[in-house]
Amino acid sequence: MKSWLNRDTVSTTVGVVEVMGVAAALDQEYEVVEVDRIRPHPKNPRHGNLGAIRESIRANGFYGACLVQLSTGHILVGNHRYIAATEEGLTEVPVVWADVDDATALRIMLADNRTNDLATYDDSVLIDLLTAVARDDDLVGSGYTDADIEALLNDVDTTDELDPDAPSFDLSMLPDVTIADPKVLPESGTKWRIGPHLLVVVNDMMEDWQLWTDELGEGDWFVPYPGPFVPLVAPPAPRLVMVQPNRYMAGHLLEKWASVHDDATVVEA
């Protein structure tokens, strides 16, 4: 059996801070306690991913503390981290005791669950962060997998509102989509300059990440899995860095561009 940390249990009291009668810090006390002194809240409606939490504890250790109602020992915040910790063999966990009544305790538990539900992500920032972590180390203990990154890349929204001053393009000018094989079937690992934009042909979006991440500059738009018409309907700026693992689709993209513009605007980089 394991302890959360190898030292004597400490206890620190945090006093109440009053703010003009509008808000106040709870009367709280921090302590490292044996796991049998506290227990999950019987009314907690949340179902956590214990596998992911256990992996995080193994990789990163048990961080933070469980918020526990002083009078009952019921956990208000950190129910599943507590369960995961006990399943990993910890015998002690850090606790913040909250001296609150039952009604307040339930509101705290509900608010903690709900405010997490209401949070959103900046997907582009998240992708950059996950890609950097995966490149420098690995994703074990982060709660994410390579498949999660690929799913995020697939869901990247490339339909942001365009500059109203950007030149328009008449879709009727576009040639019909064909199901015939493209005239050029670009090799994986090649890069093509298509007018002001760039097409990177890869074998696998994630395994070949260095081929396209090195090309992304400030202000560029990352466009995964582009269709043949994407560069045709895009304005000259910002530059598109398009990444296509499907050689067939990449060939059609090159062919469609050349059919509307001069062939000289398609150059292998």
SS (H, E, C) 168-230: CCCHHHCCCCCCCCCCCCCCCCCEEEECCEEEEECCCCCCCHHHHHCCCCCCCEEEECCCCCH
Does 257 share its domain with 197?
yes
Least reliable range by pLDDT among 54-68, 97-111, 152-166, 214-228? 152-166
Examine the fold and report which residue of 137, 157, 177 is the final residue of a domain before the chain moves on.
157
User: What's the DSSP call for residue 173?
Assistant: G
pLDDT of 4 above 60 = no
Does 139 share its domain with 168?
no
Is 57 within 8 Å of 46 (Cβ atoms)?
Answer: no
Residue 130 lies in a domain: yes
Comparing C-alpha atoms, which of 151, 26, 189, 16 is closest to residue 100? 26
Residue 30 lies in a domain: yes
Does 114 share its domain with 125?
no
For the chain, the maximum distance between any two Cα atoms, rounded to a whole number of angstroms, is: 77
C-alpha 230/C-alpha 4 separation (Å) is 53
Does 108 share its domain with 205?
no
Residue 200 lies in a domain: yes
Residue 66 lies in a domain: yes
DSSP secondary structure string for all residues of 123-139? HHHHHHHHHHHHHHS--
Question: Mean pLDDT, the chain, as a whole number?
Answer: 83
Does 145 share its domain with 173?
no
What pLDDT, on the 0 to 100 scale, is given for residue 9? 42
What CATH number is given to the structural domain containing 58?
3.90.1530.10
Q: Is 241 helix (H, G, I), strand (E, B) or coil?
A: strand
Hunting for tokens 């950097």 — which residue is that? 132
Residue 1 lies in a domain: no
Q: How far is CA 171 from CA 98, 165, 201, 229, in A?
A: 63, 18, 25, 9
Of 26-35, 59-68, 127-136, 159-168, where does the model show the most confidence?
59-68
Examine the fold and report which residue of 110, 132, 157 is the final residue of a domain before the chain moves on.
157
pLDDT tens for 133-177 read: 888 778 899 999 888 888 888 876 443 444 555 555 444 444 444
Residue 34 lies in a domain: yes
Does 237 share its domain with 167?
yes
Q: Which structure tokens are listed for 136?
A: 């420098």
**Torsions phi, psi for 100 (to 5 deg):** -135, 160
Mean pLDDT of 86-92: 97
Does 132 share its domain with 195?
no
Residue partners of 65: CB distance under 8 A and separation at least 6: 30, 78, 93, 94, 95, 96
Does 81 share its domain with 152?
no
Does 97 share its domain with 53?
yes
* Angle 39-43-44 from CA coordinates, rounded to 5°: 75
Residue 25 lies in a domain: yes
Does 114 share its domain with 23?
yes
Before 226, cis peptide (omega within 30)? Answer: no
What pLDDT, on the 0 to 100 scale, is given for residue 136? 77
What pLDDT, on the 0 to 100 scale, is given for residue 264? 63
C-alpha 224/C-alpha 155 separation (Å) is 9
Does 180 share its domain with 103?
no
Comparing C-alpha atoms, which of 170, 154, 151 is closest to residue 229? 170
Hunting for tokens 């996950």 — which residue is that? 130
User: What's the DSSP call for residue 2?
Assistant: B
Supply the range of the domain harboring residue 75: 11-118
C-alpha 243/C-alpha 205 separation (Å) is 7
Residue 3 lies in a domain: no
Does 43 share its domain with 129?
no
Residue with the larger pLDDT of the pair 243 and 227: 243
Residue with the larger pLDDT of the pair 228 and 173: 228
Q: What total of structural domains would you count in the chain?
A: 3
pLDDT tens for 34-58 read: 999 999 999 999 999 999 999 999 9
